[in-house]
Amino acid sequence: MIIVLLQNASFLCTFVWLLQHGRRPEGKAESSGIKDNDQPIHMKEKTNKAFETLDKQHYLQTFRRFPITLAKGKGSRVWDIEGKEYIDVLAGIAVNSVGHCHPNVVKAIQEQAAKLMHISNFYVSEPQAQLAERLTELSGLNRVFFSNSGAESVEGAIKLARKYGKTQGKAGTVISMEGCFHGRTLATIATGKKAMQNGFDPIPSGFKQAKFNDFESVAHVATGDVAAIIVEPVQGEGGINVADKAFLQQLRKLCDEKDIVLIFDEIQTGIGRTGYWFAKDHYGVQPDIMTLAKGLGGGVPIGAFLSSEKIAQAIEFGDHGTTFGGNPLMCAAALAVLQTVEEENLLHAAKEKGEWLKQQFADMHEPSIVKIKGLGLMVGVEFTFETKPLVIEMMHHGVLANATAGNVLRLVPPLNISYDELQTALEAMKKSLEAVKEHA
């Protein structure tokens, strides 16, 4: 009897101990030997530091990350794992255009996830067919192909342009612009600056560069072998450099004359960012191919390239493909984004708030500001100094922004950010600027 009681008590103790120590709630991460100064950090300790350490141990060290772990987002605000709130004027690099976790997008994803997430592109899906129809209607282009990212959209656009070029007996040279950014795959780095190519050769051949906003420079390299010219209407990574209207019009004319495919990379400018559905509409210039990504999915990874019928005719069955690109889940999210941009009148909002924001910077009469640039809610403020320290200071003041092209502060907030939030972000920026100037 005593033995049975002792056995039961011991079992009970073991069970309670296991509950307390041995088991953890489903889905919660637990560290296995994560060390910081040789002290194990238990992942139940939900701190920025703990996750930074975990990340540093396991993630490929290619991003110099900020030392915060973001855990939650709503509208234009995000919270780190310790509960600190930030106004997000970076929006995942111009991705969260309708804000974090917009109810329309969340609902569309939840409903689609419960119905059908992935089927491969061997079959048609309702969301993909509808999204393709909507994007062609909005853009005036005729055909669309969906991918998973921006770089992949550019790759597809280059392939299509080269295939069309072959039908005209051309070699496949592609002209890109100095200061451009089209992605980080091999062909997309071949369009970009030398620094991004270092260490990755052999780099794909058939790429030349010309000067942005300098038509003579483009005309000079646009010889007989050129299949395509690729340009961002507003260079994002390059420092928010806005293309001149005359430049894009001249490019269109040149491409018409020489049967060169004109590609607009609207991965950052598309889906309302600049105050029109696409930045091309500021210029009244229609490209032959246009690439999209970022704002299209409201946070889910989706890209696309659209093409005129004439160019699209060059593609034959089997020429291009993707497993995930444009799956029902992503397309349902993108349809919800387009619906939200319309319902909330976000094209108008982007124009108005962008103008307001630029005016606020102008009104500061700040001697360290060299130039205020951008279209719609794609705003760049060029300073006399490198802006990374300013961005770090802003983070400490509860605002997430971005430094690009060395001395440009890039602001690409959700299009539905409120004026109050913009004002708060501006105040934080001003305080941060004072702090940075003091330390300089």
Ligand X SMILES: Cc1ncc(COP(=O)(O)O)c(C=O)c1O
Binding site for ligand X (CB under 6 A): 93, 149-151, 154, 181-183, 232, 236-237, 265, 267-268, 293
Helix ranges, 140-244 (H) = 150-167, 186-190, 194-197, 215-221
Of 50 and 300, which CB lies nearer to ligand X in the complex structure? 300
Q: Is 387 left (phi over 0), alpha (psi -120 to 50) or beta?
A: alpha
11 is catalytic: no
Strands 378-383 vs 408-411: parallel, antiparallel or unpaired: antiparallel
Catalytic residue of the set 51, 265, 305, 353? 265
Residue with token string 């491969």: 120
- 87 vs 92: CA distance, rounded Å: 12
List of residues 6+ apart from 117 with CB closer than 8 A: 327, 328, 329
294 is catalytic: yes
181 is catalytic: yes
Of 159 and 182, which CB lies nearer to ligand X in the complex structure? 182
Of 401 and 436, which CB lies nearer to ligand X in the complex structure? 401
Catalytic residue of the set 159, 170, 294, 351? 294
Catalytic residue of the set 51, 145, 146, 181? 181
Of 185 and 250, which CB lies nearer to ligand X in the complex structure? 185
Element (H, E) at 307: strand 303-307
Helix ranges, 18-73 (H) = 48-58
Of 151 and 395, which CB lies nearer to ligand X in the complex structure? 151
Helix ranges, 63-102 (H) = 91-94
Closest C-alpha among 293, 245, 302, 226 to residue 265: 293
Of 182 and 282, which CB lies nearer to ligand X in the complex structure? 182
Burial of 167 per CB tally in 10 Å (0-12, 13-18, 19+):
exposed
- 251 vs 271: CA distance, rounded Å: 23
Residue 214, both tokens: 């300098």
Of 377 and 426, which CB lies nearer to ligand X in the complex structure? 377
- 229 vs 44: CA distance, rounded Å: 52
126-139 and 328-343 are packed helices; what angle lies between their axes, rounded to 10 degrees? 40
Element (H, E) at 380: strand 378-383
Residue type, 317: F
- 167 vs 150: CA distance, rounded Å: 26
Which residues are identified as catalytic? 181, 265, 294
